[in-house]
Structure 1
Amino acid sequence: MDNLTFRYNILLVEGLKITPQSSHLAFILLLIAYVFIMVANIGILFQISAEKSLHQPMHILYCNLPLSDVLGTTVVVPRLLKYIFIEPSERYITYVECVIQIFFAHLYGTTSHTVLMIMAFDRYVAICNPLRYPSIMTHSMVVKLSAAAWGVAIVLVGIMIGLTVRLSQCRYVIQNPFCDNASMFKLSCENVAINNIYGLTFTIVLLTSSLGSVAITYLRIAIVCFKSKNKATNSKAIKTCSTHLACYVIMMVSGFTIIFLHRFPELSDNRKLVTIIFHVVPPCLNPIIYGLQSKEIRQRIFQQFNRNKVNSK
């Protein structure tokens, strides 16, 4: 077969590197984390959709985050759980399944930034232009912001995947716990300079836009709070912004750790572990932080819990 068109239909995935003695513990911990992520994030989505009092721009925009977290975790964790009890030499995945996993895994990583960017814009308008907030953050604007967050991510990731699937392959082992773009195009013996350039440009543009927009937003908010003499307003601003900022910092620390460890090949095993953490820890912490900090959601959750408790007696 022509080497320029050759492609393996079945690939071998490295999966988790753990000892047989640790396999059961790893499976239990990962399963508990996955179940919690599903229950917590879907629970908040259901709570916001069911309660009309929570149909506010801030909460509706937040719905994009648990949706992204559920997507990013589901595309990675179930297959990792499956691989734990399968011999490394038997961890197969079809080419099409691998491409699908790459797309949604990178879509999760990208929307983690774009969704938090539109949430930062909402906080900026609410605090810096409170009188104009109802006229700016209309239903139409919320839909446009959400569509932009997902649309931009889909286009950017789609181009990246398109550049990878055009390549032929001369190897078939994905040297990562799950399929990702870099591991996929490294299977090719062709010139992958375009892939590297686009990947680097993609990362720089995304991180610069994310950090820049959030930094400018919070600088403007800080200036407004500093000039304001209303302690109640400032306290509310700090409380609502701290939720968003905490989610953002967790996501950025996880992401930057992966980028940092890429610079040290001898720490490849640590990097692979962090890539899994990136798909597990932020989705675990985001609903806890947002649920506990948001007074409206917290009250609805406690009311629902107490109602169920009374009905069970």
Structure 2
Amino acid sequence: MKENLRQLRERGGEGGGKGVRMAGSGSERVAVELCKGINGLDKVVLRGPRGSSAEVYLYGGHVTSWRNDQREELLFVSTKEIFKPPKAIRGGIPICFPQFGSNGSLEQHGFARNKFWSIDTDPPPFPTTSKSFIDLILKPSEEDMQKWPHSYEFRLRVALGNGGDLMLTSRVRNTNADGKPFTFAFAYHTYFSVSDISEVRVEGLETLDYLDNLENKERFTEQGDALTFESEVDKVYLGAPTKIAILDHEKKRTFVLRKDGLPDAVVWNPWDKKAKTMTDFGR
């Protein structure tokens, strides 16, 4: 059976922590809690009013868990993941910045996923109806400036809606002293937890042009009614719609992705052959 995205297994070694914002009265659960995760790394746990939750590691500004109201894990994190900097975390939602893939002079997907982010104690105003959210910020170090000589503030808000929806909002501010503009690439490299990948289909990308990274970025047009998986896939869909759906027939579950300000969509699945060659990739 061809599978690569499995439900995250139970993990130990997580300590206690303290609540940093309450959802309401003392009888309610802590909406936001700062505590220790695997290998003592700092993480923030977000909790919804009906059982949903999310976990965000400050290392990488990385969402590693998202559970619905039934406590079902919706993201994949490799069981072989060691959570040991400076290696990036495999799975969850890595932040790719200021480069995506190998399209530039920096390391794969840039350096943001390999940096320790800080909790933003004074974020700019941002409307929200959720009480369960955290604001993070990343600024360049001297080492970063040597590799990529641009000054910036990258602000990330991770919010858990009252209905269990997970919302990520990113804002990048140019803080160059001379105001000189710069260009960058950015992506949420989300790993969704699904059952048998051959039972999964993606809707919303029909008739779009895409660049096939397995064919030297040659440009093609999607022909099917929906995208299905029969082998390795690595495609960049150009001008993707704001709504995309991932249907998992075996789990009878549908992920609905809504995006704004991100024009393209990447669909990647290593299939079993390539997955076996990746030392940090496991169920």
- Classify the TM-score, shorter chain: under 0.3
Larger helix percent: 1
Higher CA-based Rg: 1
Higher strand share: 2
Q: RCO higher in 1 or 2 (8 Å CA, sep ≥ 6)?
A: 1
TM-score (norm 2): 0.27
- Give the TM-score taking structure 1 as reference length: 0.25
